[in-house]
């Protein structure tokens, strides 16, 4: 039945990824204690990280994998005391059934070029405004315009591109005011979401998150995993709110914020360890049942995060523009 579903495309990508990982865990191809990272798995399945992340979360709920103080998931249920095995999963011979591979590839044409296009766009928007011509982008990657539109639509969802009045695709400019606008919305949405969702927060997940935050705080290289930890914090503490519309608003508003932070990291600007400390305080307060204090701390964190981001954008403003941009990105002169 599953083969028929995959063949007809009725299965979602995360369901296919989950099926592949589950079967390999049960067969012993992925041994207990193996560290599973989203990136390498996504590369093998030729898909994006999002369905892999959701698949791992489902497997975690079923007790087949669990989180630990390091990055990623460990194969096996929590509490077994297994030592992390850091082996390249590509060398283990992950078995991907033909029907699953075909189903994934039929759905993911846009994903094969998305990360490259996102990196090209994100690397230039802080320096000005650029136009993207669909045909030039299609020719650059030798793909159809349908694939190009899928990519551009997802970039628009993340706040990296938009359509102007002439229906031209425009990237940038990323300005301080843009960032401020998104943080105003974050302040309006996220602290109230924490208040609303506090009774529904998964305590075991919160305890695991707190361990990761403390480990990152104590580690000199902890900021290398900062983005993943921040995503987990949002999922655990903010998106526990039972209001689905509120959760959607939070997620959509965070897309360009995350893209901005990723851009600043790509330009070589360091993250601030205070981020981890602030999130750790929010998590600790939630764990103690001090909801209003957690809400207040979250508001403080967002204000500090805005100030940090604006300060780094001022540094970027004096950096010369990119010497080379992708051929399909054309500067728009004001």
245-283 pLDDT, tens digit each: 999 899 888 877 887 887 787 777 888 889 999 999 999
**Same domain, yes or no, for 302 and 236?**
yes
Q: In angstroms, what CA-CA distances link 196 with 182, 243, 268, 292?
A: 21, 8, 37, 11
In a domain, 165, yes or no: yes
Q: In angstroms, what CA-CA distances link 120 with 130, 132, 200, 213, 334?
A: 11, 11, 40, 31, 21
Rg (CA), the chain: 21
Final residue before a domain boundary, out of 72, 89, 107: 107
In a domain, 301, yes or no: yes
pLDDT at 8 > cutoff 60: no
Final residue before a domain boundary, out of 151, 174, 197: 174
Q: Reduced to 3 states, what is the DSSP secondary structure of residue 132?
A: strand
- pLDDT score for 294: 97
**Same domain, yes or no, for 135 and 196?**
no
pLDDT at 296 > cutoff 80: yes
**Same domain, yes or no, for 140 and 213?**
no
Edge-first strand order for the sheet with 130-132 is: 161-163, 169-171, 130-132, 329-331
The two structure tokens encoding residue 180: 């401020």
Structural domain count, the chain: 3
pLDDT per residue over 38-73, tens digit each? 888 988 887 777 788 889 999 998 889 998 877 889
- Residue showing tokens 């579903």: 5
Q: In angstroms, what CA-CA distances link 287 with 199, 230, 266?
A: 10, 17, 34
More confident residue, 299 or 106: 299
Sign, CA dihedral 11-14-15-19, equals positive
Q: How far is CA 246 from the centre of its chain?
A: 19
In a domain, 330, yes or no: no
Domain containing 220 — which CATH number?
1.20.120.530
In a domain, 205, yes or no: yes
- pLDDT score for 334: 63
- pLDDT score for 188: 97
**Same domain, yes or no, for 60 and 136?**
no
Domain containing 15 — which CATH number?
1.10.10.10
**Same domain, yes or no, for 75 and 36?**
yes
**Same domain, yes or no, for 209 and 240?**
yes
Residue 149 lies in domain: 111-174
More confident residue, 79 or 238: 238
- pLDDT score for 125: 78
- pLDDT score for 98: 78
- pLDDT score for 3: 38
pLDDT per residue over 81-114, tens digit each? 778 888 888 788 888 887 777 766 655 567 778 8
**Same domain, yes or no, for 181 and 312?**
yes
């Amino acid at each position: 039945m599953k083969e028929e579903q995959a063949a007809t495309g009725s299965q979602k990508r995360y369901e296919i990824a989950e099926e592949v990982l589950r079967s390999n865990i049960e067969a012993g191809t992925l041994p207990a204690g193996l560290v599973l990272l989203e990136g390498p798995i996504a590369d093998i399945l030729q898909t994006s990280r999002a369905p892999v992340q959701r698949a791992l979360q489902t497997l975690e709920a079923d007790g087949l994998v669990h989180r630990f103080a390091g990055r990623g998931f460990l194969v096996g249920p929590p509490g077994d005391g297994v030592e992390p095995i850091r082996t390249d999963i590509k060398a283990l011979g992950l078995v991907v059934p033909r029907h699953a591979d075909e189903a994934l590839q039929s759905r993911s044409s846009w994903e094969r070029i998305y990360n490259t296009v996102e990196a090209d766009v994100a690397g230039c928007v802080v320096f000005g405004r650029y136009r993207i011509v669909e045909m030039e982008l299609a020719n650059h990657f030798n793909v159809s315009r349908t694939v190009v539109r899928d990519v551009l639509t997802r970039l628009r969802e993340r706040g990296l591109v938009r359509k102007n009045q002439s229906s031209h695709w425009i990237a940038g400019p990323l300005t301080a005011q843009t960032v401020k606008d998104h943080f105003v919305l974050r302040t309006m949405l996220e602290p109230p979401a924490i208040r609303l969702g506090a009774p529904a927060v998964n305590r075991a997940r919160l305890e695991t998150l707190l361990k990761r935050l403390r480990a990152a705080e104590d580690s000199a290289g902890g900021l290398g995993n900062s983005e993943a930890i921040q995503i987990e914090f949002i999922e655990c503490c903010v998106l526990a709110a039972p209001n689905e519309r509120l959760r959607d608003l939070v997620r959509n508003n965070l897309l360009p914020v995350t893209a901005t932070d990723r851009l600043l990291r790509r330009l070589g600007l360091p993250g601030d360890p205070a981020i981890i400390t602030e999130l750790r305080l929010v998590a600790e307060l939630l764990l103690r049942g001090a909801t209003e204090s957690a809400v207040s701390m979250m508001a403080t964190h967002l204000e500090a995060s805005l100030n940090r981001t604006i300060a780094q954008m001022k540094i970027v403003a004096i950096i010369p523009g990119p010497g080379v941009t992708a051929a399909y990105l054309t500067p728009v002169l004001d």
